[in-house]
């Protein structure tokens, strides 16, 4: 009985010491975890696209498929000659397969629909130009309507603009954003009378490409603007440092 009276206080004392040690370590960890600086740096750069992709189509209507093919082929040659004349390399022009659509019109009798009447065929051949000669293709895309005066029915889309050295650009912006974040962290630490310690964490933000001088909204998933020839790329880097 006496032995039990001795062991109970001893066990309680040991438990109290362990609890105090654990509590003390938790406070120490909490203090140290707050002894950090987290900053976000920005890297951005404006650049000009070096690749253009432009799509269009040659369209022809005829009473027969054979007649339509012959007329379409003639107009295709006119388009090719026009592009060559404007300085667009033949190797950059790709003509797709010919799509043939049967045309008809609705027929009414005394206001009542009675069926469809065949009116002919429409043949459509799309083409695509992919070139690093951005200016030449850009000019052609603006002036292609002049072919209509030559009897050629041409449809045209807006060009898309791209950049072929995105990997190099992204690496440059990551370095710029990291340096910017480091500078911000040093300024914060110096103003607080402390010094930066080792880097404890880093996280890269989303790569964004918008039109230059635009108010285009950014996206959590990233934005890639292909409509603007002149663009701006940006990226953020979040760094976390220990503080001495």
Q: Could you read off the pLDDT of 155-202 as tens digits, one per residue?
A: 999 999 999 999 999 999 999 999 999 999 999 999 988 999 999 999
Q: What is the pLDDT of residue 21?
A: 43
| Reported CATH class of domain 35-48+165-243 | alpha beta
Q: How far apart are CA 150 and CA 146, in angstroms?
A: 7
Q: Could you read off the pLDDT of 124-151 as tens digits, one per residue?
A: 999 999 999 999 999 999 998 888 888 8
Q: Could you read off the pLDDT of 10-60 as tens digits, one per residue?
A: 444 444 444 444 444 443 333 344 588 999 999 999 999 999 999 999 999
DSSP H helices in the chain = 2-34, 65-85, 134-143, 166-191
Closest of 75, 49, 47 to residue 60, by C-alpha: 75
Q: Could you read off the pLDDT of 198-222 as tens digits, one per residue?
A: 999 999 999 999 999 888 887 778 8
Tokens standing for 163?
């950049």
Give the list of residues 6+ apart from residue 9 with CB closer than 8 angstroms, or none. Answer: none
Q: How far apart are CA 166 and CA 24, in angstroms?
A: 51
Q: What is the DSSP letter of 227?
A: S
- Domain locations in the chain as residue ranges: 1-31, 35-48+165-243, 52-161
Q: What is the pLDDT of residue 16?
A: 44
Q: What is the value of pTM for the model shown? A: 0.77
Closest of 159, 97, 170, 157 to residue 133, by C-alpha: 159
Q: What is the pLDDT of residue 227?
A: 93
What is 52-161's CATH topology? Alpha-Beta Plaits (3.30.70)
Exposure letters 192-211 (e unless 16+ CB within 10 A, then b): eeeebeeeeeeeebebbbbb
The H or E element containing residue 46 is strand 36-48
């Amino acid at each position: 009985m006496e032995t039990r009276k001795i062991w109970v206080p001893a066990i309680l004392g040991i438990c109290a010491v362990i609890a105090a040690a654990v509590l003390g370590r938790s406070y120490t960890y909490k203090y140290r975890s707050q002894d950090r600086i987290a900053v976000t740096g920005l890297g951005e750069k404006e650049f000009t696209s070096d690749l253009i992709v432009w799509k269009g189509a040659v369209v022809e209507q005829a009473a027969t498929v054979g007649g339509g093919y012959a007329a379409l082929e003639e107009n295709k040659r006119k388009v090719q000659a026009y592009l060559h004349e404007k300085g667009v390399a033949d190797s950059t022009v790709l003509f797709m397969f010919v799509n043939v659509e049967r045309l008809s019109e609705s027929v009414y009798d005394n206001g009542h629909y009675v069926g469809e009447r065949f009116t002919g065929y429409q043949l459509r051949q799309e083409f695509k130009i992919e070139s690093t000669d951005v200016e030449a293709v850009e000019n052609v895309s603006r002036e292609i309507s002049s072919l209509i005066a030559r009897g050629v029915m041409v449809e045209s889309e807006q060009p898309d603009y791209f950049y072929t050295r995105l990997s190099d650009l992204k690496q440059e912006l990551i370095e710029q954003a990291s340096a910017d974040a480091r500078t911000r962290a040093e300024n914060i630490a110096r103003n607080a009378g402390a010094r930066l310690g080792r880097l404890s964490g880093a996280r890269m933000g989303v790569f964004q490409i918008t039109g230059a001088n635009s108010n285009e909204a950014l996206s959590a998933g990233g934005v890639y603007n292909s409509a603007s020839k002149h663009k701006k790329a940006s990226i953020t880097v979040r760094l976390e440092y220990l503080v001495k």
